[in-house]
Chain A
Amino acid sequence: MKLMPCPVNGLRNISEFICGGEVEEMPNPDTGSDHEWAEYLFMENNAKGIVREWWMHAPTSYWFIAERNTATEEIVATYPSTELFNQRVEFTQANTSDV
């Protein structure tokens, strides 16, 4: 069984984890267009090489970031998401009179 290093729980069988997909910037919920949302939800980079993804350790519901090579299946690094997202995101309020 392949092992994955969870930043909190250490080395675990890969079957304990769930892949949550590529790390991508979410459109602003207040201002994002339908097109931007479709792009965000459905379109994939699906790169062959090193990708940055969300993963979850299912038994502990702990979400973190993994960098993984999709050509060689090597797990390059895993780290807490706070290393990437260390600032609070403030979404601007849509101007409802535009709608």
Chain B
Amino acid sequence: MPLGLLKYGLKKAHPSKRHFNTCSDLKPSYDVVIVGGGGHGLATAYYLAKEWGITNVAVLEKSYLASGNTARNTAIVRSNYLTPEGVRFYDESVKLFQGLSNELNYNILYSERGHLTLAHTDAAIRTSRWRAEVNKHLDINSKVVYPDELEKLCPHLNLSQDTRYPIMGALYHPPGAIARHDAVAWGYAKGAFERGVELHTHTEVTGFDIQNGKIEGVKTNRGNINCGTVIQAVAGASSEVSKLAGFKLPIKSIPLQACVSEPVKPFLNIIVVSGSLHVYVSQSSRGELVMGSTSDPYPLYSTRSTLDFKEELMTHLLELFPFLGKVKILRQWAGTTDMTPDFSPVMGLTPVQNYYIDAGWGTWGFKATPVCGKRMAETIATGKVPELIKPFELERFYRFEQVGERGAASVGH
């Protein structure tokens, strides 16, 4: 069998088909230039082509596709947020995610597991109840559960009251899911490519041509191009790119670290998050434990890992699952996240005409990939910002109308 497989693999008769090609030359002009070839940029390209027939589009990516946070996240999808604006927005994304493998004809390995946000304090129980009520009001499946029910949902969880931070209850969100993040990006890239969108990798945007407050062109390390519209979707590099366009953002670039363990037998079929302990963990279909932590305590443009992060994460993880003491860490990494002060994104118009922004995704933007692509495409095609994403416009900061999502977004993903 193994020999046969090897022979099959080495035969020239079955070349593996490429999903999409990256282009060689840049055209002198495009209707839409998308800066950033992560999930958000690629999804926007896809919906522009598919829903609005806009195909004279170039995605410019300074490295390879999805080389940023899209391929670094811990892949959690959910909609149990705290503000009605947030819940409505992420709910549309969850619904798009549920049908995405079919829509793209590409398996994104969407796996509905259920999502638990543990509460170790009275204050956390109170926030859980608040979130559950907002969720239920908007038809989202969420409820507060207590240790008796937790024991059934996650039999391996340490519910002893003799720990440093005993578990008092949790917010339970059955639609919570994980998906294969690379596949989401590749599926969108393939769909956009098949409809005529050009994907340019190793193409870094280095400046803009702005005249009378309106975008006219884009400068890159491979030459200059003219364009009608620009959308910026560069996550950790948001401030640097917006600076090239001449405006500031309410964003700090801060590393978020994650790691995976060696594969172990399946035992965890639910996503477990503890905001107080700065731990979240799920088990991948390969058996690895995918684990994350809290953000680094100061801004940094770096994707390094640190020992103190792992020490803290493991201390708390072992409190939740003491029997994991001998399991080894396989890989560790970090992504540079674009953090806003209200833990909500920045989407829509900018001070530059025809220049749109999609940023402020911090530690929570993977789950927004489909809705963001869809609604940003609509914004570009119609020139109007859809109601669903209006609360997240940059202008909100000048009106002191933040969308405070910290209680539901910091660490919980």
Binding site for B on A (CB under 8 A): 1-2, 14-15, 18-19, 34-35, 38-39, 42-48, 51, 70-71, 73
Contacts and interface: CB of A to CB of B under 8 A. Distances in A.
- Classify chain B's interface size: 20 to 34
A14 B400 CA distance: 33
Contacts of A39: 248
B174 to A, nearest CB: 36
Contact of A42 (B239, B250, B298, B301): B250
A51 to B, nearest CB: 8
- 6 closest pairs, A vs B, by CB? A46-B239, A19-B298, A42-B250, A43-B248, A42-B397, A38-B398
A35 to B, nearest CB: 6
Interface of B: 239-240, 248-253, 297-302, 304, 306-308, 341, 397-398, 400
Nearest to B400: A38
B300 A73 contact: yes
A12 to B, nearest CB: 14
Contacts of B306: 2
Given A15-B308, A46-B253, 10 more contacts: A14-B297, A19-B297, A19-B299, A34-B398, A38-B397, A39-B248, A43-B248, A43-B397, A44-B239, A71-B301
Given A38-B397, A38-B400, A71-B302, A43 B250 contact: yes
Nearest to B250: A42
Contacts of B239: 44-47
B252 A44 contact: yes
12 contacts: A1-B308, A2-B306, A14-B297, A18-B297, A35-B398, A39-B248, A43-B248, A43-B249, A44-B248, A46-B251, A71-B301, A73-B302
A2 B341 CA distance: 26
B401 to A, nearest CB: 10
Contacts of B251: 44, 46
B149 to A, nearest CB: 37
Tell me which of A48, A70, A73 has the highest count of chain B C-beta atoms within 10 A of its own C-beta: A48
B321 to A, nearest CB: 25
Contacts of A70: 253, 299-302
B252 A46 contact: yes
A41 B97 CA distance: 36
Nearest to A72: B302
Contacts of A42: 250, 341, 397
A34 B240 contact: no
B336 to A, nearest CB: 10
A70 to B, nearest CB: 5
B225 to A, nearest CB: 24
Contacts of A47: 239
A39 B301 CA distance: 22
A1 B297 CA distance: 13
